Amino acid sequence: MSGQSWVVVTQEKQTRGMVLAARALSEPVVALVVGPQSLADLTATTGVDEVRWVPAEADQPPEAFAPALAQVVAASAPRVVLAGAEPGGRAVLGAVAAALSATVLPAVVAMSDDGGQLVVLQAALGGEVLRTLVPAGALAGVFAGADPQDGGAGGSAPVVQLAVESVDLRIARDEAGAAATGVADAARVVSFGRGVRAKADIALLGELAQALDAELACSMPVADDLGWLAKDRYVGRSGQHIAPRLYLAVGIGGAPQHMEGVRDAKVVAAVNSDPDARIFREADFGVVGDLYEVVPALIAAVRSAAPVTSVVKQ
């Protein structure tokens, strides 16, 4: 193995976090970027030593280049390769891992060097515990650590364009769905789950959302199984991924699949009658109680306090 770390970049999100995590090993960091030149140029400012850039046409997903890129990365025999959770980056990571015979670990949050031995910190069980792992050889990690919004080395690393073969895999159609609901860009979101007993009770949650100048959202079962809200209002891994200033979850258990959609929320608060509900492990604030008693009290408390400022999230 070489004393080198690579990060696979297919979108801006998680790039700075991955570079910071790789930097902790005090080894050169190479970014492998698949996408537009703007992404390569941006990545070059995040503190990497070099960018290898694969320009992709609009119908060429990163997955199409994975087999060829595996050979490119394997030729450098890095000790560490990181990718984010985005499926295209993971596809490249999987191919690279096979080429390197690397250990593949999910939820990597940090790495360190312990006398030449790579030590990995993993957020196991949906982040409930931190597990310390020692791979025997190279590591291919799916990164899930902190992702600072800005920062970098200040300079710009050289960008080297790569010409690689792609396999027979393309984007045949890229279709926008229904008009956006506003949940995606809302500064505040009130979201509810199956703790709400009847469809008519949504009005109560709507009243709270109105008092907080928030958008109304829900967990996956509410939209998909019950059909109480439009599907573009459900938050979670396969739904909306949002970054509001406030995410207030009412009657939501907090399964990892749901919480993945609010990973970037600034403040998470929860109302749940179960003091052991998983969501309290990830929330900043919580109220343990019956939502049918707590929500009216919250509406009154918000209305009696100073008005909530109406903002457009930047």
For the segment 65-94, give every residue that binds other proteins (CB under 8 A): 66-67, 70, 85-87, 90-91, 93-94
Among 240, 249, 251, 252, indicate the residue that binds other proteins (CB under 8 A): 240
CB of 5 to other proteins, least distance (A): 17
Among 77, 136, 158, 165, indicate the residue that binds other proteins (CB under 8 A): 136
Residue type, 244: P
By CB under 8 A, tell whether 17 contacts other proteins: no
Cβ neighbours of residue 224 closer than 8 Å, sequence gap 6 or more: 231, 234
Nearest to 162 by CA among 30, 48, 23: 30
Among 29, 72, 97, 111, indicate the residue that binds other proteins (CB under 8 A): 97
Query: What residues between 257 and 276 interact with other proteins by CB under 8 A?
Result: 257, 260, 266-267, 269-270, 275
CB of 216 to other proteins, least distance (A): 16
Among 176, 198, 203, 312, indicate the residue that binds other proteins (CB under 8 A): 176
Give the chain's largest Cα–Cα span: 65
Among 119, 159, 162, 204, indicate the residue that binds other proteins (CB under 8 A): 119
By CB under 8 A, tell whether 201 contacts other proteins: no
Round to whole Å and give the CA distance between 105 and 115.
Answer: 21
Cβ neighbours of residue 192 closer than 8 Å, sequence gap 6 or more: 202, 205, 216, 217, 218, 219, 222, 249, 250, 251, 252, 291
Among 25, 32, 56, 105, indicate the residue that binds other proteins (CB under 8 A): 105
Query: What residues between 142 and 171 interact with other proteins by CB under 8 A?
Result: 142, 167-171
Order of strands, sheet of 159-161, starting from the edge strand that comes earlier in the sequence? 117-124, 103-114, 139-143, 78-83, 2-9, 29-35, 50-55, 159-161
Count of residues touching other proteins (by CB under 8 A): 104
